[in-house]
Amino acid sequence: MAPASSLQPRAEDGDRPLSTLPREQILSLGASRIREIANAAMGRSDVLPFWFGESDVPTAEFIRQAGAESLAAGETFYTHNLGLPELREAIAAYCSRLHNADLTPERIAVVSSGISGLMLTAQMLLSPGDRVVIVTPVWPNVTELPRILGAEVIRVPLAVRGGRWTLDLDRLLNALTPDTRAVILNSPNNPTGWTIDAASQQAVFAHCRRHGIWVVTDDVYERLVFDGSAHAPSLLPLVEPDDRFVSVNSFSKAWSMTGWRAGWIEAPAPFIAELGKVIEYNTSCAPKFVQAGAIAALRDNRGEAAVGALRERLMAARRLLFEGFSRHPEIEAPVPAGAMYAFIRIAGFEDDMALARALLETAGLGLAPGSAFGPEGKGWLRWCFAAGPDKIADGLARLDRFLTIRGGL
């Protein structure tokens, strides 16, 4: 008998065409709704885009220089699975300093971006059927990763109260049943800017400790808060060596390094030791020249200055943008406490995809549709305000034009 071709269906695949062969969890993944809007207008010079979550200025010169020098020195080889010891030390020292904690490098792994850190954490913790509780709306990757692994995602929605996105703490605690495997908290939150207060954070932690639930915090926006603090509330000062706690962090946002793909995980030392194996089967290691840039970001004093300058720029942009929104009573614009997004809705427009398309076509204004962040975001729009004042003012002028045209119809 001739050997079976890899393209022939296996017996259990029945008559299914090749396109249906991936696992069910993959087939059920939604395509990005942000991409759906952005792809339609990519390359159009008449469109002003605010749809992606990144700053419009490149990484600081001294960080780029450190990466370039490493490349020039021929540092193009594999590195340790968990990252360069020097970078792990620099991250441990940075986190300890920032949060008044006592973290050792054994609790740190360098990973190739925040999203990779989230996926690695999910691979470390989740089995099919595991229950994972997530506060939503949230960046879709956070809810899709557990689903890829076959876990069940329970969403606990934020709600707008008194002009701010807020968490119903009791609702979250009730959702954290003893059979829950993990809770994922993204604070400051993408897309709403909601930032958990220290008391609620500690209540969640105490509850999870009691029930053996893993607490995973997505802290990629922790430096981008607007109340004058240097960081959002963090559990790091409270964490004991054997707590079921993982913090995922990234160089992408605070140091404007989205294209570098560099981040880190803070977790119990035995977790980190096992994580090395999982990193091996994902990316194996982070590139050395990328890690050289990351070391410069943390060790050079100009790193903190760059974070501070970005925060100032975001605060100025937020002020300008919300002044603009306040001229339109039909716009509901809860004020974000952190991150880099305004999450708004306009009375009379229920369908956010249709609205995002109309803004694009009528006014050349590129915003992300809120339903990209889950059913809670239906009817809302996300505006990334990591931009200079001229660009924000131009965006607002386009919004004004759109509302005038629509109002006159």
Interface positions with ligand PLP (CB under 6 A)? 53, 113-115, 139, 186, 190, 218, 220, 250, 252, 258, 263
For ligand PLP, give the closer residue by CB, 116 or 180.
Answer: 116
For ligand PLP, give the closer residue by CB, 70 or 112.
Answer: 112
For ligand PLP, give the closer residue by CB, 261 or 398.
Answer: 261
Contacts 24+ apart (CB under 8 A), 241-245: 241/107, 241/268, 241/269, 242/268, 243/209, 243/215, 243/268, 244/208, 244/209, 244/212, 244/213, 244/214, 244/215, 244/268, 245/205, 245/214, 245/215, 245/216, 245/217
- In the complex, what is the shortest distance from the CB of residue 11 to ligand PLP, in angstroms, rounded to a whole number? 39
β-partners of residue 165 are 160
- In the complex, what is the shortest distance from the CB of residue 316 to ligand PLP, in angstroms, rounded to a whole number? 21
Burial track 152-164 (b if 16+ CB lie within 10 A, e otherwise): ebebbbbebeeeb
- In the complex, what is the shortest distance from the CB of residue 264 to ligand PLP, in angstroms, rounded to a whole number? 10
For ligand PLP, give the closer residue by CB, 34 or 346.
Answer: 34
For ligand PLP, give the closer residue by CB, 125 or 220.
Answer: 220
- In the complex, what is the shortest distance from the CB of residue 112 to ligand PLP, in angstroms, rounded to a whole number? 9
For ligand PLP, give the closer residue by CB, 84 or 368.
Answer: 368
For ligand PLP, give the closer residue by CB, 245 or 264.
Answer: 264
SS3 93: helix
Q: What is the DSSP string of 126-147?
A: --TT-EEEEEES--HHHHHHHH
- In the complex, what is the shortest distance from the CB of residue 249 to ligand PLP, in angstroms, rounded to a whole number? 8
Q: Centre a 10 Å sphere on the Cβ of residue 208 and count the other Cβ atoms it contains.
A: 21
Q: Centre a 10 Å sphere on the Cβ of residue 77 and count the other Cβ atoms it contains.
A: 8
- In the complex, what is the shortest distance from the CB of residue 398 to ligand PLP, in angstroms, rounded to a whole number? 24
Using an 8 Å Cβ cutoff, are 193 and 338 in contact?
A: yes
- In the complex, what is the shortest distance from the CB of residue 113 to ligand PLP, in angstroms, rounded to a whole number? 4
- In the complex, what is the shortest distance from the CB of residue 283 to ligand PLP, in angstroms, rounded to a whole number? 12
Using an 8 Å Cβ cutoff, are 182 and 267 in contact?
A: no
| Structure tokens belonging to residue 111 | 């990973």
- In the complex, what is the shortest distance from the CB of residue 377 to ligand PLP, in angstroms, rounded to a whole number? 14
For ligand PLP, give the closer residue by CB, 290 or 320.
Answer: 290
Q: Which residue is nearest to ligand PLP (CB)?
A: 114
**Nearest 5°: phi and psi at 405?**
-60, -50
Q: Would you say how long the chain is, in residues? A: 409
Q: Measured between alpha carbons, how far is 242 from 341 in angstroms, rounded to an integer? A: 35
For ligand PLP, give the closer residue by CB, 155 or 328.
Answer: 155
What does DSSP say about strands 48-49 and 108-111: parallel, antiparallel, or unpaired? unpaired
